[in-house]
């Protein structure tokens, strides 16, 4: 029966198709996990992306695409992915909550008690004299970040945090204007950055913690990448 055999050939081709498709979400994510896996924290530099708000992750993928963040391997990984794919990847990682591996020694490992005290004070109270707002005012009192686009700050290696402040200072990392982190970085000395990255990297993150649903407004500075603030629009740095 010609019709039936034609149908069965089509069915076989359909069944084989998913195996042959080169471009599935699972394949993209497998490539990401070689660096952003559960073990990531022992690599001293790779940031944890699991559990960060989807809007934040999406904005960063866009930032690597459009040159507002620079890291050749990341630009290569996401450079040609269509926008819908970036959103899918961001949603996927935002929903993952693997346990945190034990902290490893980074540059913050040998911080003195005085440095750690300075770091904690900056995170919790800021420094009014230097116009540095408390980090908790935007990242949340538990530092778990805020939906949809402010990241949590725990579980990041101190070397990664130091590098990001260096990037904001040199404007090789930018977010949608007004770029609040760029302004804050400009007001922080290198000693202050080392103190706060050491303190942050020594805190034990809670795997059950989730980004806060909201945060009291107004924020101490406007952030273009956080939609509740004036003139803000989610959708990446412009």
Distance from C-alpha of 40 to C-alpha of 176, rounded to nearest angstrom: 28
- Write each residue from 106 to 145 as x if it is in contact with ligand HEC (CB under 6 A), else as -, in one continuous string: ----------------xx--------xx-x-xxx------
Contact positions with ligand HEC (CB under 6 A) in 163-182: 163-164, 175, 180-181
Distance from C-alpha of 209 to C-alpha of 199, rounded to nearest angstrom: 19
Residue closer to ligand HEC, measured from CB, 151 or 205: 151
Contact positions with ligand HEC (CB under 6 A) in 18-57: 28, 31-32, 34-36, 45-47, 49, 56-57
Distance from C-alpha of 180 to C-alpha of 118, rounded to nearest angstrom: 21
Helix (H, G, I), strand (E, B) or coil at 233: coil
Distance from C-alpha of 217 to C-alpha of 87, rounded to nearest angstrom: 27
Residue 39 is classified by DSSP as: G
Q: Is 74 in the site for ligand HEC (CB under 6 A)?
A: yes
Q: Is 184 in the site for ligand HEC (CB under 6 A)?
A: yes
The residue ranges that bind ligand HEC (CB under 6 A) are: 28, 31-32, 34-36, 45-47, 49, 56-57, 59-61, 69, 71, 73-74, 77-78, 89, 122-123, 132-133, 135, 137-139, 150-151, 153, 156, 161, 163-164, 175, 180-181, 184, 196, 219-221, 223, 225-226
């Amino acid at each position: 029966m010609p019709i039936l055999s034609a149908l069965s050939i089509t069915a076989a081709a359909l069944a084989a198709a998913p195996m042959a498709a080169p471009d599935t979400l699972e394949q993209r994510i497998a490539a990401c996990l070689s660096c952003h896996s559960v073990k990531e924290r022992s690599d001293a530099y790779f940031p944890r992306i699991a559990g960060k708000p989807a809007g934040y992750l999406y904005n960063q993928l866009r930032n690597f695409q459009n040159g507002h963040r620079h890291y050749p391997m990341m630009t290569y990984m996401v450079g040609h992915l269509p926008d819908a794919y970036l959103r899918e990847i961001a949603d996927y990682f935002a929903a993952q909550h693997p346990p945190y591996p034990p902290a490893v020694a980074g540059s913050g490992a040998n911080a003195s008690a005085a440095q750690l005290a300075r770091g904690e004070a900056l995170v919790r109270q800021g420094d009014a004299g230097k116009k540095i707002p408390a980090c908790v005012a935007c990242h949340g009192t538990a530092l778990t970040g805020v939906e949809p686009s402010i990241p949590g700050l725990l579980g990041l290696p101190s070397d990664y945090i130091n590098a990001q402040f260096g990037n904001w200072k040199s404007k090789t990392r930018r977010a949608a204007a007004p770029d609040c982190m760029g302004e804050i970085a400009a007001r922080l000395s290198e000693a202050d950055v080392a103190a706060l990255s050491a303190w942050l990297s020594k805190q034990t993150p809670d795997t059950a913690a989730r980004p806060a649903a909201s945060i009291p407004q107004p924020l101490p500075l406007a952030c273009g990448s956080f939609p509740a603030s004036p003139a803000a629009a989610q959708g990446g740095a412009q």
